[in-house]
Structure 1
Amino acid sequence: MLKKSLAIMSISAAFFAQAQDVSVIRNTVDVYSNAPNVGSAKFNAMGGSNGALGGDANSLLTNPAGLGVAISGEVSGTLLISNNKNTSSYAGSSTGYTINKGDLGNLSGVMTFQLMTESAWKFVNIGINYSNQSIENYVETPGNSNLIYDFDATNSSSFGKHAYDRYGYLSKTSVGVGANYNNNLYLGAGLNFLNSSIDQSDTAIFNSLSGGGSETFSKQNTPFYERGNGFSASLGVISKLSPNFRVGAALETPTFWNIDRSYNFYNDPIYGDDYATENRKLTSPLKATVSAAFIASKSFSLNVDYTLGLTKPKYKVYGDAETELNDFFKDNAKNLSEVKVGAEYRIKQFRLRGGYSYASSPFDALSISRYADNGDIVDNQSYNNLILSDRNALSFGVGYDFKSFYIDASYQNITSKYSNPLLYGVIDGNYEAGYYSPTRLISSDAYVVSDVKNIRNNFFFTVGWKF
């Protein structure tokens, strides 16, 4: 099998001059640097905020010290039903597409071991948590009849439409231990094992101005397929300042990813159209979380988490492609920043919960050359939301406790808006990143940029047992 290096050229503060695939950067941040944060219906109803509250195995998603807060064993399973809609707008038209999925979102359990000694150590608990989420995403951008490509002297075509299609999943299995010291100090540690699967394509359709037909083109080095596995570790502490106040802190190491990648390539001077494989190693950001909780009584609790990325994504260098990717993230990526707030109110056996989270945009402002609606090229257009943007999530839920058994349900709404660059690809004597059909190829020295609105509606249903 031919071994080829992924070609990504001239990445700079002005974005890429000759990028192989925008989604390489998107997936680095959106998939590999963003572990699944899918917990129980309670966890998600409270915005994923439990860093200083703890009490169950979902603590492994934020602060493993929360395992030490548990005083009884517990197991639970969560069904996730998701609705993901992208609406891409360009040149006065919009195309919307919705994906509905149902899957097992979370399994978790904690075993408590009360220490019947005179020591100040009260409990040592063991927990396991499995989180799984679909990363399926489809963005279809409408065409523009003013955007004309000349294949030859007798054949010109206009831009018909573009489709970015990603299938796959991201899962995280965590095991950890938590300890309770004198009911005032809680310590914890966890190991995290991640798995990913991505199948992705990038295609465009062009409409002939003379023959009336259309042709479908695939971008160089697509479709591609990636299978990854990663490992990270976490440490945490929670301190009870008073019966009503707690603070917590946690640190999660970078995830060390090993990614096997395969992809199609076209028009090679020796091999023609063929298929290649390669391996990549990626280190995702180191993350720190600080938390505070207020427990007014057994009826009301409030938790706030703040997570900050302390490093940036970094690929192991095998050639120019990884060097230029690393330079791009070093110069243009922001450190991860996320705030989560969650609250729970209890009325006898009933539970009412709500939460909110905000994650900042992962990139600084980036400048590119783009096509205007009339087909002209606008140089150095600046965007503060290119590829990905900030994200807002609002959630609420209810639950009922049957003493040993409980049921919970929650709803989560996640929204983001970003500028989506596509269709760029140059073809010259030294470098090819254009779009290819079985008979023709095209190049484009500027980007089409659409406006994408993403809305995710997630529904969670949990059944649990305490023992």
Structure 2
Amino acid sequence: MKKYLTFVALSLCFIGSAQNINDVLRYSNENLQGTARFQAMGGAFGALGGDLSSLNINPAGSAVFNNSLITLSGSYYSRDNDASYFGTLNNTSFNDTDLNQIGGAFVFKTLDDDADWKKFTLAFNYDVTQNFENRILASGQSTEGVDNYFLNFAQGIPFNSILLQEGEFIEDAYLDIGANQGFASQQAFLGYYGRLIDPVGDDDSTTDYVSNATYSSVNQQFSRTTAGYNSKFTLNAASQYRDILYIGGSLNFHSIFYDRLDQLRERGYDADSEIQNTTFDNFLRTEGNGFSFSVGAIAKLNDYVRLGGSYQSPIWYRLTDDFSQRISSDLADDDIGFIDFNIINLFDVYRIKTPSKLTGSMAIIFGKNGLLSFDYGYQDFSQAELRPTNDVSFQTVNAQISNELAAVSTFRLGGEYRIKQISLRGGYRFEQSPYANGNTIDDLTGFSAGIGYNFGGSRLDFGINRTEQDINESIFDTGVTTPIMINRILTNATLSYTLNF
């Protein structure tokens, strides 16, 4: 009877197609999340403080609190994607709700009014910095069939090294080849037994392969569905020196859960093609955690002007991936269905170091009437790294990061106008592309607005934040590389409740 594997744990040496520049960028970016007030003002809190999400910008911000408090926030996310692929446009939308922030601060005031250090604050905060829930659809008449993906991996690999051994199950061979020969050989194996490709000639030692599909163009339908989150839990301490200086530091503990399902269907080959239908699906799951720290200060120059500065360390992530595939075609081996999402390849543990970030801030306070705030952030993405750096494939990716990514400037502007218990807010955000060419990922722009009502002992805030960005995503790193051009709009509507003690 055929053996069926539900789970196989193997350490893979995924040569040439494991972690890449996209993984580094995915976990290096933090989207504007947090409390409703923070989002409504564009996240421009580096010189303001007084909000739990401001700890993400400047850890000195908790020393601005005059009393202890707790804040809870929930968000409604709406994503709208326009994906253009070979001239065909598809629109998808995705909605989600989440409890995205909860935190508290405990303020300890000095009993001696003449003391230089006026108060000491301990704070904690949980923020969802990235919500990965999303889906894109793309379709079009492509000149790059999926056979090219398998051919690019197979060329140069001896045919006899990817053949089933006598009595060997196909799923065992798939995993064994991946573990011992690498990702390229594993994909060549999958392409051959999926019958997308064949060796040239009858010599089992040949290293040349040809496609079984013939076409000038082929109809492709592709979907990418992602799920998960990147969250941060912050432990913070800060203090106020006289009436002129606030200083603080934070320890940040990051958690990642990410799922990605890619599904590709091909139809419309030439009438005489041996292949008429192909499906090829890939599933990736990433889990892990990370650590970072931050320090900062806010200087109160006078009753109207505050200056802020902060340093956010790199985030040191420790991650694991598992990966599974399935393929079918008109000519596929009868047992190909035993290679499915239950047959799981496990990567070795790897690490990502994101770039550090510097932020300079300025705020103008108009007494009790309102305020204006501006933040400038600088982050050099070319300094990001996959580790261990002595890994040959990681060295290739790190060289690509160094050559293709660049320093990013971020501008955030926020304002608040108060009418008795009511606060009206607005904000603007601009973030440069992390790519030196500015094309693979375009600049990000965002606008926000909000309103708050102060009940005295508590406060209710609402904020809405909209960002837009153009992104080019390829289906694969090789073979099918014409990018899908995506216009991505993300809208967050957040409601926060703050209880003062």
Q: Give TM class, smaller chain.
A: 0.7 to 0.9
Q: CA deviation at 1:389?
A: 2.1
TM alignment of 1:11-160, pairs within 5 A: 20=17, 24-30=20-26, 32-35=27-30, 37-117=32-112, 118-132=114-128, 133-144=130-141, 151=196, 156=215, 158-160=218-220
Q: Secondary structure at the match of 1:422?
A: coil
Alignment partners' CA distance in 1, 2:220 and 2:399: 34
**2:490 pairs with one of 449, 456, 460:** 456
Note the alpha carbon deviations across 1:239-298, whole angstroms, 9 max, x for none.
11111001010001111100011112689xxx9955321211111111111100000221
Structure 2 match to 1:230: 290
Alignment partners' CA distance in 1, 2:213 and 2:467: 48
Alignment partners' CA distance in 2, 1:140 and 1:287: 34
Check the 8 A contact 1:418/1:452 in 2, yes or no. yes
Check the 8 A contact 1:337/1:360 in 2, yes or no. yes
Distance 1:360 1:351, change over 3 A: same
Structure 2 match to 1:292: 362
Alignment partners' CA distance in 2, 1:237 and 1:288: 12
Structure 2 match to 1:182: 242
**1:250 pairs with one of 305, 310, 313:** 310
Q: Secondary structure at the match of 1:324?
A: helix
Distance 1:213 1:193, change over 3 A: same
Note the alpha carbon deviations across 1:291-327, whole angstroms, 9 max, x for none.
0000022111111111111562111125221111111
**Letter of the aligned partner of 1:7 in structure 2?**
I
Check the 8 A contact 1:143/1:162 in 2, yes or no. no
**Letter of the aligned partner of 1:352 in structure 2?**
L
Note the alpha carbon deviations across 1:382-430, whole angstroms, 9 max, x for none.
xx321x22111100000111111211111111101122333453xxxxx
Distance 1:246 1:36, change over 3 A: same
Q: Does 1:321 align with 2:388?
A: no
Q: CA deviation at 1:330?
A: 1.1
Structure 2 match to 1:5: 13
Q: Bigger shift: 412-421 or 176-185? A: 412-421
Gaps of at least 5 residues in structure 2 are 1-8, 148-195, 197-210, 328-335
Check the 8 A contact 1:36/1:131 in 2, yes or no. no
**Letter of the aligned partner of 1:455 in structure 2?**
I
**1:336 pairs with one of 403, 408, 413:** 408
Q: Does 1:282 align with 2:277?
A: no
Structure 1 match to 2:221: 161
Check the 8 A contact 2:43/2:54 in 1, yes or no. no
Q: CA deviation at 1:236?
A: 0.5
**1:260 pairs with one of 300, 306, 320:** 320
Q: Secondary structure at the match of 2:396?
A: helix
Check the 8 A contact 2:96/2:133 in 1, yes or no. no
**Letter of the aligned partner of 1:363 in structure 2?**
Y
**Letter of the aligned partner of 2:447 in structure 1?**
L
Distance 1:238 1:147, change over 3 A: closer
Distance 1:318 1:275, change over 3 A: farther
Q: What CA RMSD, in Å, does the superposition of the two structures yield over aligned residues?
A: 2.3
Alignment partners' CA distance in 2, 1:260 and 1:154: 36
Alignment partners' CA distance in 2, 1:139 and 1:24: 20
Check the 8 A contact 2:306/2:363 in 1, yes or no. yes
Q: Does 1:422 align with 2:417?
A: no
**Structure 1 length-normalised TM:** 0.83
**1:350 pairs with one of 410, 422, 427:** 422
Alignment partners' CA distance in 2, 1:154 and 1:239: 68
Q: CA deviation at 1:153?
A: 5.9
Structure 1 match to 2:330: none
More strand by share: 1
Structure 2 match to 1:198: 258
**Letter of the aligned partner of 2:403 in structure 1?**
D
Q: Secondary structure at the match of 1:44?
A: helix
Structure 1 match to 2:455: 402
Alignment partners' CA distance in 2, 1:398 and 1:266: 50
> Which aligned segments of 4 or more residues in structure 1 are displaced greater than 4 angstroms?
145-157, 271-274
Check the 8 A contact 2:417/2:424 in 1, yes or no. yes
Q: CA deviation at 1:103?
A: 0.7
Check the 8 A contact 1:306/1:337 in 2, yes or no. yes
Report the count of equivalent residues.
Answer: 410
Rg larger in structure:
2
Q: Secondary structure at the match of 1:463?
A: strand
Note the alpha carbon deviations across 1:312-366, whole angstroms, 9 max, x for none.
211112522111111111111112321111110000000000001111001112x
More helix by share: 2
Alignment partners' CA distance in 1, 2:107 and 2:370: 24
Q: CA deviation at 1:128?
A: 1.1
Q: Secondary structure at the match of 2:402?
A: helix
Structure 2 match to 1:14: none
**Structure 2 length-normalised TM:** 0.77
**Letter of the aligned partner of 1:275 in structure 2?**
I
Check the 8 A contact 1:5/1:319 in 2, yes or no. no
Q: CA deviation at 1:130?
A: 0.7
Check the 8 A contact 2:445/2:467 in 1, yes or no. yes
Q: Bigger shift: 75-84 or 201-210? A: 201-210
Q: Secondary structure at the match of 2:474?
A: strand
